[in-house]
């Protein structure tokens, strides 16, 4: 798992796709996701990842409840600690369609696969406790955001850890990456559109 995640996190794999620079990140994510799917879904055939885009009864309610509760907490805490500032702009509204696609397929889905489908899944099995798996995976997810400027970004780590608890809980409740990826995408798109 570290072999898939660390080269992306530290941008070592960016050297593989230097041109065109606008696509470097997206192509890197696609390559890492492909490697992760090959390793854990196809070769290892790990159970319980939930790697399928299907819609089942209860998914809509889970997405709505987790998104709304997390949004209330994140906005209140984020503004209080100075991480978020309400600042919607017309330019961000214009870029929304492209942002939705980019965030959903190159941030939310790959991160949910790695942190919930693989890491939380493995930790839950290792500790034989789904709540321990949720807590530890959420802290690791939070820490994965420490490199965002200004370094070290402890405010981002704190909010991402809380977000990880919500995304991981959706995965626990549904057994699928899809609802958690939707909550994750809704959170990131809302942030992109309304805050800085």
Enter the pTM of the model: 0.91
User: pLDDT per residue over 67-98, tens digit each?
Assistant: 999 999 999 999 999 999 999 999 999 999 99
Q: Lowest-confidence range among 21-35, 161-175, 179-193?
A: 21-35
Alpha carbon distance, N-terminus to C-terminus of the chain: 31
Three-class SS of 41-72: HHHCCCCCCCCCCCCCCCHHHHHHHHHHHHHH
pLDDT at 16: 86
pLDDT digits (tens, 9 = 90+) for 2-61: 888 888 888 888 888 888 888 888 888 988 999 999 999 888 888 999 998 899 999 999
DSSP structure class, residue 86:
B
**Which residue is it, tokens 């870029």?**
95
Which pLDDT score is estimated for 78? Answer: 97
Task: Assess contact for 39 and 4: CB atoms under 8 A.
Answer: yes
Kind and range of the H or E run holding 92: helix 90-94
- Domain coordinates in residue numbering, the chain: 1-45, 49-194
Tokens at 149, concatenated: 């400027």
Q: Within 13 Å, how many C-alpha atoms sit on residue 108's CB side?
A: 23
The Cα–Cα gap between 177 and 60 comes to 13
Nearest residue to 174 (alpha-carbon basis) of 64, 14, 79, 100 = 64
The tens digit of pLDDT for each residue in 117-167 reads 999 999 999 999 999 999 999 999 999 999 888 889 999 999 999 999 999
């Amino acid at each position: 798992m570290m072999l898939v995640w660390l080269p992306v996190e530290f941008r070592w794999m960016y050297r593989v796709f230097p041109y065109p620079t606008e696509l470097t990140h997206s192509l890197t994510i696609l390559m890492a996701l492909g490697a992760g799917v090959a390793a854990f879904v196809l070769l290892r055939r790990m159970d319980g990842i939930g790697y399928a885009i299907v819609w089942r009864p209860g998914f809509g309610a889970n997405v709505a409840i987790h998104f709304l509760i997390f949004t209330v907490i994140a906005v209140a805490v984020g503004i209080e600690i100075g991480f978020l500032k309400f600042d919607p702009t017309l330019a961000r509204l214009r870029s929304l369609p492209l942002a939705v696609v980019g965030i959903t397929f190159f941030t939310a889905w790959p991160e949910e696969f790695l942190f919930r489908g693989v890491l939380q899944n493995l930790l839950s099995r290792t500790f034989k406790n789904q709540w321990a798996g949720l807590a530890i995976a959420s802290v690791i997810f939070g820490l994965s955001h420490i490199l965002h400027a200004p370094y070290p970004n402890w405010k981002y780590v704190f909010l991402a850890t809380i977000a990880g608890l919500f995304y991981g809980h959706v995965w626990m409740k549904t057994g699928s990456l899809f609802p958690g990826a939707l909550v994750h995408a809704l959170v990131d798109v809302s942030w992109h559109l309304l805050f800085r």
